[in-house]
Structure 1
């Protein structure tokens, strides 16, 4: 398989979240895809198979396991595909469902992709899960933002949303990787979406990903989509809304994700960002 390497949600390869991209994985089985993802070593590698209708069947693998959906690898795959076949709209058929993706080229030549998630939803955490989650994060309940209640949110994959009351709490991330990974595997959570609200529509985020063998994601499109659905469902933002999410700053890999939240609760959440190849 020909593996391309991109960063998503950045216009410079020194930022963003790296992803592996295989534009034609025809004939590859799960074992082969997992082995390639482990060798690439990024938080996810996307494996696409062209469909007769012009869409793509896409599967996503971390170095340790398959995940149902990955936003940054979707953005990277869409941009890589546009570089080879031209920009435009395309349907991605994923384990989570149909994800519509469009690409466009800016005046500077940078290609931007926008995905529209499957319908989002969220549920309250189970009574015992929140104390266990906070203990693994080494956070206390009084460090949370009461205006953004804990919730388990979905837009293709499940992510607990935990809001810090200060930027300093978000910056000081030092969690128990084994304990958090065990809880997340038991609950089928992909990443934990740790957020801090700077203003009505500007947020900062960090996303631990221990089930994938990754300490932290520098940009997490699936979590951004789930977070947009969470805000809409709980009435925490004026609709329609466009959010800016800054992620990766505390890792030295700055990323910017733009999230569109339509007023219609039946519509998916859009997540937009640029992607560029990683130089050899």
Structure 2
């Protein structure tokens, strides 16, 4: 890799159809790149996240994730895409550890199906400290559209997002957002994203969702989000499943951007802690050279 030149692969994740799902940029053999160079590449590539694959002293591989305007500790779809691209030419099942700024996580590659599963961090929830009426107004919905009896909370499995449960998928479709206003709506985590979701009427989905990115993300909306889908799995287990110690289901996302994709989510109790894993497919859309 030359100092001012690299190859970027566009990997479309949570789909097997190029142009659908969520795109991530992936740069292999990125050990010689500085943080400033990785940020410049991510800005020019323009994806919601670009992932840089490096060697690790404590895991099988290191992944660093850059939005167009900042580095983020973890990205679900970026992890699925990067590991799929890193391993898809090796036709054997593999279990890897990945070093991230959110900790060391496990990923599994299943060669027959071409899917990648990733463990996320232990789930955490914090009550929403803002005004629900003001939040709904900003999203273009009414307080009456919220799912009765289910709280709005900050959720974390590696990255903080605000979970907003609503009654119907059609409410998701009418939402609007201006993420420059998010810091005023999110006092505890002003750079967090907002992730509304609704119970689905489709037999193969439990929930449908949208994801409005945080103020410094460089994009307004992410098509299909892995980390936030994992948080929904933990939310479902903690707030909705009174008798279950494990839940497994599929979330659909991306309709609003015509980039629909599906995320398989598992959540289970390990003692009192909630553990989460997500699973998805990927495909290569294109490769392109980038100077920086």
Q: TM-score, normalised by structure 2?
A: 0.87
Unaligned runs of 5+ residues in structure 2 are 1-5, 288-292
Alpha carbons of structure 1 residues 121 and 135: separation in structure 2 relative to 1, 3 Å:
same
Other-structure match for 1:135: 137
How do residues 15-34 of structure 1 correspond to structure 2 at under 5 angstroms?
15-34=20-39
Can you list the C-alpha shifts for 1:219-265, whole angstroms capped at 9, x where unaligned?
Answer: 10010111112222224363311111000022211100000112324
Residue 68 in structure 1 maps to residue 70 in structure 2: no
Query: How many positions carry a matched residue from both structures?
Result: 276
Other-structure match for 1:100: 106
Other-structure match for 1:254: 260
Match of residue 209, structure 2, among 202, 205, 214: 205
Can you list the C-alpha shifts for 1:125-155, whole angstroms capped at 9, x where unaligned?
Answer: 11x3544433321222111001432111000
Alpha carbons of structure 1 residues 85 and 198: separation in structure 2 relative to 1, 3 Å:
same
Give the Å deviation of 1:191.
2.3
What is the aligned-residue RMSD (CA, Å)?
Answer: 2.2
**Contact persistence 2:251–2:264 (CA under 8 A):** yes
Give the Cα–Cα distance (whole angstroms) in 2 for the partners of residues 230 and 169 of structure 1: 20
Residue 266 in structure 1 maps to residue 273 in structure 2: yes
Give the Cα–Cα distance (whole angstroms) in 1 for the partners of residues 233 and 32 of structure 2: 36
**Contact persistence 2:49–2:67 (CA under 8 A):** yes
Give the Å deviation of 1:175.
2.0
Q: TM-score, normalised by structure 1?
A: 0.90
Can you list the C-alpha shifts for 1:89-110, whole angstroms capped at 9, x where unaligned?
Answer: 111111111211011123xxx5
Residue 116 in structure 1 maps to residue 119 in structure 2: yes
Report which stretch shifted further, 2-11 or 150-159: 2-11
Residue 3 in structure 1 maps to residue 18 in structure 2: no
Residue 157 in structure 1 maps to residue 159 in structure 2: yes
Give the Cα–Cα distance (whole angstroms) in 2 for the partners of residues 125 and 28 of structure 1: 39
Give the Cα–Cα distance (whole angstroms) in 2 for the partners of residues 176 and 27 of structure 1: 37
